[in-house]
Structures are given as C-alpha cells and as structure tokens.
Amino acid sequence: MEKRRLRELLILLATLACVPATGVLAEGKFDGAYAGTAVLAVGSNTAECKNYPTSISIVNDQLVFVSWGGRSTIKTTVAADGTFSGSGQHHMFRGVVVQTLVGKVAGNALDADIENPACKFHLFLKKTG
C-alpha cells in the first residue's frame, strides 16, 4: 500500500510540473526595467532641457515613467504589439505643463519620444532586468 501511495504522489508531482504557471503568476510580455539616456532632440540646452539618465519600469504591461526626481510621472498600458502612449504633469521651474510619452517596446529595447512645450527628448532604453 505504501508503494502505491508513493507512486500516486510521484505521478501527481510530475503532472503539476508540466502545468504552466501563467495563471498563478501572470506576467506581461514586456515586463522589466529599462534604462538609458533621454537625449535632447528639440529645445535649448537649459537646466530643464538637457540630456539626462532615465528609466522606465513595466509590470503586468503597466508602464511607469518617473523623471526629474519625481517632477514628472506618466503611467500607461503597453499594448500587445509593444506600443504605448500616455501623458502626465511635468513640474517645470516655470510651472506645471503636460508631458507626453509615445513609443514601442521590441525585444530588449524601448524606443520612445517624450515631449513638453519646452523640449522634446528621444529615449532608447535597454532592458536591465
């Protein structure tokens, strides 16, 4: 009787090992941390319009971009094809403006443009985790 129970337990464990865990720990296709530099494309090279290191995180296809020490935050959803678009407030030295983020995730790279009334940046970020 003991051998039968052991055999049943082994069969159960082998069966569970073959079941994908997608329903247990749902992960988005593009989940991870992406880091690099925001490169000034349009605008004067002032304190508010200059190249800066930045990062974006994606969890369960929900993208969060926080820059300038929290002065700007954009949250949006990444579509199945990797595209995203969102906007949020950016607290500049001269007041609060709307900043937009548009881009695409492909493979281990995130390519995007971020723009506010004073400047526009291009982001090419690599997946770091």
DSSP code per residue over 48-110: SSS-EEEEEEEETTEEEEEEGGGTEEEEEEPPTTSEEEEEEEEEETTEEEEEEEEEEEETTEE
- pLDDT score recorded for residue 2: 61
CATH number for the domain including 62? 2.40.128
Residue pLDDT tens, the chain, 129 long? 565 444 443 333 333 333 344 333 458 899 999 999 999 999 887 777 889 899 999 999 999 998 866 678 899 999 999 999 999 988 777 778 889 999 999 999 999 999 988 889 999 999 997
- Structural domain of 46: 27-127
Q: What is the pTM of this model?
A: 0.74
Would residue 20 count as lying in a domain? Answer: no
Would residue 44 count as lying in a domain? Answer: yes
- pLDDT score recorded for residue 92: 72
Would residue 102 count as lying in a domain? Answer: yes
Q: Into how many domains does the chain fold?
A: 1
Would residue 17 count as lying in a domain? Answer: no
Would residue 81 count as lying in a domain? Answer: yes
- pLDDT score recorded for residue 59: 96
- pLDDT score recorded for residue 8: 44
